[in-house]
Structure 1
Amino acid sequence: MGSIVAGLASSHAFAFMEPQRWDDFRERNRQILHRRSGVLPPVQDGVHDETLAMNREGYARIRGGLDRLRTVLADRRPDVLVVIGDDQDENFSTANVPQLAVHVGTSFTLANPLATSEVPYPVHRELATALLEQGVREGFDIASLGSFENDELRSHAHAQVLADLLPRADLPVVLVFLNAVHHPAVEPWRCEQFGQLLARVVRARPAGERVAVYASGGWSHFTAGYPWAAYRGPRTHGAIDTDFDRVVLDLVERGEGHTLARLTDADLLEHGEIELRAWIALLGALGAEPAAFVEYQPFYRAMMGMAVAAWTPEPVRS
């Protein structure tokens, strides 16, 4: 019987950038929305309330949390890492957007502007195939990805995580794509069910197999890639819903993060939490396991509520 021995989660994009890069990256993102919509969105007032020194102090806590994820991974000694995240027109396009997909190829390199590496990352094909096959048997419409174009992983939700956590590509990986940015997207309750499926698949694996699962995305943010056509609320580019973020933080800290599956697609869309789906899937796999640690910092200059967390469940004894 296999076991999930580590749950890891974090924001991406700005979360892997030092604060001195944020202003340029944020402005480029604002200009992207300008080109798409024809309207230049205003700069959030909160941007002017933050200084580089303040950002560096707050980001040190996030960067420290990301470093702790490396320590957790080393201490828990997994045999495979599953990474769950969305694709933002990088490996997929609007011509073909699967709600769920699993990569079952042999290897890939990182080819995103934010995370590039020519070192091949090996795929744990046995676990990937088991997840795909059992998922389809249980009614999950999962797309099977045999390869990427040129074997290049371009999705920054996955690539940034791997570049930071596994720069030497020394652990087999399973890539899961969970749609978040293209409306309509997977309902939170289905994300939880997918996480529960993953846990069942892991338990059916050979005795002693150790699995780590990483959820990439969130928390609240309204960027150029947001599904603005489906959004009807008052928030504009660069907004952060810190009140809702703190509700999520409280639930995760108390070991009740699995209750986030009760939210709806409309709830996530309203609060800028569309990428919380990856966390909900992870929490579905972990159940009521309390987090070993959680860090949260809102940054208007980075356009997001940043979060990083880890869980260290005990292995199942067969």
Structure 2
Amino acid sequence: MSEILVLGISHYPPLTGHDARMAAILKRMLTNPKLPAQLRTPAGWPAAMREEWGQDEGTTAAARHRAALVGWMEKVRAALDDFKPDFVLIWGDDQYENFREDLIPAYSVAAYDDFRFSPPTDNVWGETDRTYELQGNRVAGKMLASRLLEAGFDTAYSYKPLHHPLGHAFANAVLYLDYARRGFPYPILPFAINCYGRKVVSQHGGMPKFDTQLADADLDPPAPMPWRLFDLGAATARILADSPYRVALLASSGWSHAFLVGKHHYLYPDTQADRLMYEHLRSGNYDAWRAYPGQAVEDSGQQEILNWMCLVGALQALGRRPQKLGFVDTWIFNSSKTFLIAPPS
């Protein structure tokens, strides 16, 4: 059998920017005209949220948050470099990037020959004209899609992008694993998941539009069920373990996102729900992950945890527990972030 490394990170977009802008999503949510009056200023927030906001609208806390995230990125990168994979398969969400009105699969393998993308403008690295050029692995992508189809998973695939060169769940994974700018020598195989489901087109896989009231009829069909993605991840791990490739499987996403948590008025994530799933992951209770209802995912704004459903399914198929596991919580920086390293024994 081939060796498989399992990893998990966050692709948190504000990490590409400067600390003073890290709370920008919260500031936008505070413009919600339907926000209860008591929540419009820090005086009405939970005490821990006020403390994180501080006297500088979160800038000091942002530096701490960044340090925690970058510290974990370095640990994951070290594990990747020690393992030296033939390629990195990345499970990530497509937020109205290539999954748009003309085609929205449940999930799709990007079996490209190569990828080109650039960091966002005004980024923390001060890069203005950098372009990443990475190799893909079309042969491995075709093999994986074929084997998944044979196993009963109706897997979409593509050989070139339809709209966007590379969605941010995948591009940011590379940018952050190369945060120190040492280069990223590994080919990638993006495996896009329609995590946003009912909001992939209706909300463009992003923040709510406060000038638009979405009725049930306006919403899109749901995301794939958690149990199906769990099984997809398990099948992917089994196929690649039986392949000639040495592969790193990487889930790239945060968990609960504040801008998806209606019961919190879109201000802060459902950390309680995330910590429950984290504890199941820590203790190896993978069956609890597979049994997690799709409605619970939506209610807690955990759409992107569906990427990790694939990862946890892979862990179960490989009979593996995390070697290193970390949880970075927050009130004001939009999402809980989890990190995982599970090397082969």
Partner residue, 2:175: 163
Equivalent residue letter for 1:219: W
Q: 1:110 to 1:252 in 2, by over 3 A?
A: same
**Rg larger in structure:** 2
Does 111-120 or 143-152 show the bigger shift? Answer: 111-120
Residue 112 (structure 1) shift: 6.4
C-alpha distance 17-261 of structure 1, shift in aligned 2 (>3 A): farther
TM-score (normalizing by structure 2): 0.78
SS in 1 for 2:22: helix
**1:60 alignment partner in structure 2:** 67
> Is the Cα contact below 8 Å between 2:114 and 2:134 reproduced in 1?
yes
Structure 1 residue 48: Cα displacement: 3.0
**Contact persistence 2:268–2:332 (CA under 8 A):** no
CA contact (8 A) 2:15 2:22 kept: no
Deviates more, 1:177-186 or 1:89-98: 89-98
- The aligned residue for residue 202 of structure 2 is none
- Aligned residue runs from structure 1 range 307-318, under 5 A: 307-314=338-345
Structure 2 residue 250 is matched with structure 1 residue 214: yes
Cα offsets for 1:145-167 (capped at 9, x unmatched): 110158721x1111100122256
| Number of residue pairs matched by the alignment | 299
Give CA deviations for 1:198-252 in whole Å, capped at 9, x if unaligned: 112212212xx311011011211132xx4xxxx8x62321221121121122122
Q: Is 1:79 aligned to residue 86 of structure 2?
A: yes
Match of 2:312 in 1: 283
Counterpart contact for 2:93–2:169, Cα < 8 Å: yes
Q: 1:268 aligns with which of 294, 297, 300?
A: 297
CA apart distance, 1:190: 0.5
Any conservation in 2 of the 1:55–1:299 contact (CA below 8 Å)?
no
Cα distance in 1 between the residues matched to 2:327 and 2:246: 28
Superposition misfits of 4+ residues, deviation over 6 angstroms: none
Aligned residues: CA RMSD:
2.6
CA contact (8 A) 1:11 1:308 kept: no
CA contact (8 A) 1:107 1:151 kept: no
Q: How far 1:280 sits from its partner (Å)?
A: 1.3
* Higher strand fraction (1 or 2): 1
Q: Which amino acid aligns with 1:285?
A: A
User: Which has the higher mean CA deviation after the structures are superposed, 101-110 or 253-262?
Assistant: 253-262
1:105 is displaced (CA, Å) by 1.7
Aligned partner of residue 185 in structure 2, secondary structure = coil
Structure 1 unpaired stretches of 5+: none
Deviation at 1:269, TM superposition (A): 0.8
Distance 2:194 2:310 in 1: 12
CA contact (8 A) 1:6 1:76 kept: no
Look up the match of 1:302. Answer: 333
**Residue aligning to 1:9:** 9
TM-score normalised by the chain length of structure 1: 0.84
